[in-house]
Chain A
Amino acid sequence: MAADDIITMTNVSVRYELRNSSLKRNTSYLNALSGITLNVRKGETLAVVGESGSGKSTLAMAILGLLKHWKGTIDYRFRECGLTSTEDDNLKRGELLEIWQRSSIVFQDPYSALDSKKLIKDIIAEPFVGHRKGNRKRAEERAGQLVEQVGLTLDHLVYYPGQLSGGQRQRIAVARTLINGPELIIFDEPTSSLDVSIQAQILNLILDLKEQHNLTYIFITHNLAVAKHVSDRIMVLYLGNVMEIGMTDSVFSEPLHPYTKLLISSVPLPKSDYEMKQRESREAEVSSIAPPKGCVFHPRCPVATSHCGWDSKEIIQLIERESYLRLGLESLNADMQDELNFTISAADEDMAGKLLDLIGEKNKFRIASSELRGSKIACRLYVSWSPRMVPKDDRMVNCILYDDEFKNAHDIQK
């Protein structure tokens, strides 16, 4: 772990247990994060972007020690306190308190995040009292200082959350995180429910406070323009996997990972010359309960290679659909031997020939061999490579296109 890192996560995986019914029998698991390795440098703002369900909030919870079931290691290097947390050696209550004192979080929803029955001064002071760091009076003094730092007045201390606007509530939430003088603040979508003019106020406030208090930020958002505005480095998550991580400016000027490219090109820019282009869009239903094999992004990747993780089931479905649309076949008789081998039986040899053409034309790059045996077609797929994080220029990318080892092996195969 480098000296200037405040947090180092090594191979952190998180899964949630899903109980399908009240009977405990059929539990399934949802992989919210799979093998995340990440370091957060002191004094930086790291943006975490990704679609809904990609595991952004889970990452925040993992860092704050709020999860019960997880794997991997997290190292904390705060100024006067170093801690290590692993799955078997979960943090003790006292250690957790240390972490909560030195790091805190601002949530997305300014409406539900604050207890509506409490006065603002109590809301701000709550973590202070909670950490038993002093008496009530000192806590209130501190709340008074903070409320002014976030641009409100002392009068607001005796308001209830219901009497404040969304932007004002978010200011209160920010003030609250500062009460214990933290080193790290995690923002989980702090502005996504606010209007642009209020969003600008909150972003300015957040960036000012960072300078004043020497803070490190993890900034979770799905708004790429906001991520670009606030961050030094950016991490792109997809279905619980890191796709790319690097300096914000270079990721935006030259995204490497196909998903990052898709993401960045999807943001409409508020410019008069902005134009939408038709693009090769592939759509697929993906779920984190049964994540795609190989590269998790492969069902949607516009440049997926034949080694990216295709299995028989997926390819049969594609052929089924294609044969319905193009040949009018209402059902396809397919027999799956294993993940990489399957046979399609056609009604007659003539139809088998047509199907073979179709397969060759549409799915050529995914099928290693397809062979006509009478009215049956035997197909075999390529063995898949699991992508891993590889360095490329100034960043890390999780895609086999940038993996030299894969490239060499691939050339040999040809």
Chain B
Amino acid sequence: MSVTIGDIVQDQENNKVLSIKDLEVDFFTARGRARAVRGLNLEVSRGEILGIVGESGSGKSVTALAIMDLLPPGTGRIMSGSIIFDRNDLAPIYSSKYRVAGRIGREKLRIRRMAVRGVEKKLAEQKGRISMIFQDPLSSLDPLYKIDSQLIESILYNNEEFMIGKSLDKNDILGRMSEFTNLLKEKSTEELMDWINQNYGDGGFYKEVFFISNMSISESEKKIKIRRALACTKLLTPAETRKLKAKLPDATGRFFKPNNRRRLPIQGIRDPIVREAMLFSLELLEFVGMPNPENVLTSYPHELSGGMKQRVMVALAVANSPDILIADEPTTALDVTTQYQVLYLLKSINRKLKTTVIFITHDLGVMAAVADRIAVMYAGRIVEIGPARHFFDDPLHPYTSGLLKSVPQYDERVRKLYNIPGQVPDIRKLPSGCAFHPRCERVMDICKESDPVDENVNERRVQCWLYSDGVKHGSR
């Protein structure tokens, strides 16, 4: 299915920050083709926490990696479908890229770290960004660099404009902005574009305004959007941008000398940009609730406990204030007390910074703690999706209710736990019809033959023949 401009506009208006349509991801392995994601449909609204649950191998991580363009090169490939993020369909961009197979080791580490920096680098004109927190923090922190270098690298990489702006004369910048705001009232969008081009060149902000001016919305709505865009940019002349960019470090290692000072790591740093970045990383660590941020900045990853590493990861991931934060089982390796704090942190990032969060876990308790909406994955598909309260109180899909019944409960003590018979199918040899049918208690004849399709039940969506009108009537 191809994506039309109409779809994209529709998504914008429905406040969808990300929408995935009919996504198919295959792995080509020695043992055959594995269909890890089979026609996945998912819409994420701005500002929500969407939880994805499912058992091991159901395709949760693969979905996340596909969004991030981090599928293992060579073996994993997006076969079809679209990933629409901020007006762009990412899927064709990802799959068109030529990728070298079989690079491992440090290269893999580097790729993972790229993830933290956001997809934005690859799609330079895009304003919004996506970043990801992995289950194992060590795989995304570089063991050779201290935390400060890694944080600063990430901040400078992502927030060039922010940092550049910070190190310029504030009043000057404010002056430029208020001048522009005044113009915004009088001039038409066309005129504004000319003005920006003349004064500040055809950089990022020009492109942003160009984009907005081409949208099919009313003039006043356009101006509101331009105003918003102004808030996250700095009006810089091409010369200024060049000059300041030259100052940015290209390799962190060269830039930072070992800093053994225990307190106030910014002492002795002359470069205003790095000083700002260092202060900002301190703020970030404070924000994620690090007990001793000054000490942590000058530590190596291996010197930190699991919870602290995970918090550094969160700090790295929010450094560039992403639009979407994907957290893949961020707390599975942590103790419950630490898990509680990391969960609380992610939840407050979502509420305070309005960051959209996609939270992957197989722990239903964790899901209850954070998610606004919950999607259940089984064998590469979303079999049920809807508001969190319905998920727990009134599950629709037989797999969902099975999952809920099989977790030990705190308040009531049952002698015997319910268990879903059998096990998760091998995705290389999927059963016919509904992939869940060999394990399903309510299986019907039709389930063995044909794949169930999505059915809407109020504000929820479920993929099961039990909810298909035709079948329900037919079976009566």
Give A residues with C-beta under 8 Å from B: 51-52, 165, 167, 195-201, 203-204, 207, 222, 224-226, 228-229, 249, 252, 262-263, 265-272, 274-276, 278-279, 281, 283-285, 321, 324, 330-331
Contacts and interface: CB of A to CB of B under 8 A. Distances in A.
B368 A269 contact: yes
Contacts, number: 128
B392 A331 contact: no
Contact of A196 (B292, B407, B409, B416): B407
Contacts of A267: 336, 365, 410
B292 A271 contact: no
Given A269-B368, A324-B263, 13 more contacts: A196-B362, A200-B406, A204-B419, A207-B415, A249-B413, A266-B336, A266-B339, A268-B363, A270-B364, A272-B390, A281-B289, A284-B291, A285-B292
B263 A252 contact: no
B369 interface: yes
Interface string B358-371: 00001111111110
Interface of B: 55-56, 263-264, 267, 289, 291-292, 294, 305-306, 335-337, 339-341, 343-344, 347, 362-370, 388-393, 402-404, 406-411, 413, 415-420, 423-424
A195 B407 contact: no
A276 B420 contact: no
Nearest to B368: A274
Nearest to B333: A52
A355 to B, nearest CB: 16
Contacts of B423: 165, 167, 197-198
30 contacts: A51-B336, A52-B335, A195-B55, A195-B362, A195-B424, A196-B55, A196-B364, A199-B406, A200-B417, A203-B408, A204-B419, A222-B336, A225-B365, A225-B410, A226-B408, A228-B413, A229-B413, A266-B336, A266-B340, A267-B336, A267-B365, A268-B365, A268-B366, A268-B368, A269-B411, A272-B389, A274-B369, A283-B289, A283-B341, A324-B264
A199 B29 CA distance: 29
A201 B340 contact: no
B368 to A, nearest CB: 4
A263 B337 CA distance: 6
Contacts of B366: 268
A312 B366 CA distance: 39
B417 A229 contact: yes
B384 to A, nearest CB: 15
B372 to A, nearest CB: 12
B364 A283 contact: no
B409 A225 contact: yes
A268 B343 contact: yes
B407 A225 contact: yes
Nearest to A168: B423
Contacts of B337: 51, 262-263, 266
Contacts of B56: 195
Contacts of A228: 408, 410, 413
Contacts of A195: 55-56, 362, 424
A263 B305 contact: no
A51 B305 CA distance: 13
Nearest to B54: A195
Given A229-B417, A274-B365, A331 B263 contact: yes
Contacts of A276: 340, 343-344, 347, 369-370
B391 to A, nearest CB: 7
B289 to A, nearest CB: 7
Contact of A278 (B344, B403, B417): B344
A283 B417 contact: no
A275 B363 CA distance: 15
B368 A204 contact: no
B369 A268 contact: yes
A330 B365 contact: no
B416 A204 contact: yes
Contacts of B367: 270
A244 to B, nearest CB: 15
Given A222-B335, A324-B263, A272 B391 contact: yes
B423 to A, nearest CB: 6
B410 to A, nearest CB: 6
A204 B336 contact: no
A279 B337 CA distance: 11
A302 to B, nearest CB: 11
A384 to B, nearest CB: 22
Nearest to B53: A196
A51 to B, nearest CB: 4
Contacts of B390: 272
Nearest to B291: A283
A270 B368 contact: yes
B458 to A, nearest CB: 16
Contacts of A265: 340
B424 A263 contact: no
B418 A200 contact: yes
Contacts of B391: 272
B342 to A, nearest CB: 11
Contacts of B408: 203, 225-226, 228-229
Given A165-B423, A201-B419, A269 B291 contact: no
A54 to B, nearest CB: 9
Most buried by A among B343, B388, B423: B423
Contacts of B424: 195
A263 B410 CA distance: 13
Nearest to A49: B336
Nearest to A259: B337
Most buried by A among B289, B362, B413: B413
A283 B304 CA distance: 13
Contacts of B407: 196, 200, 225, 270
Nearest to A195: B55
B284 to A, nearest CB: 16
Contacts of B416: 204, 207
Nearest to A198: B423
B339 A285 contact: no
A348 to B, nearest CB: 21
Contacts of B369: 268, 274-276
B406 A197 contact: yes
A248 to B, nearest CB: 9
A329 B264 CA distance: 10
A269 B263 contact: no
A225 B404 CA distance: 13
Contacts of B264: 324, 330
B299 to A, nearest CB: 11
A331 B364 CA distance: 46
Contact of B404 (A198, A224, A270, A284): A270
A203 B388 CA distance: 27
A203 B391 CA distance: 24
A321 B285 CA distance: 14
Contacts of A165: 423
Contacts of B55: 195-197
Contacts of A51: 335-337
A369 to B, nearest CB: 27
Contacts of A207: 415-416
A281 B341 contact: yes
A276 B365 CA distance: 11
A360 to B, nearest CB: 23
A222 B406 CA distance: 18
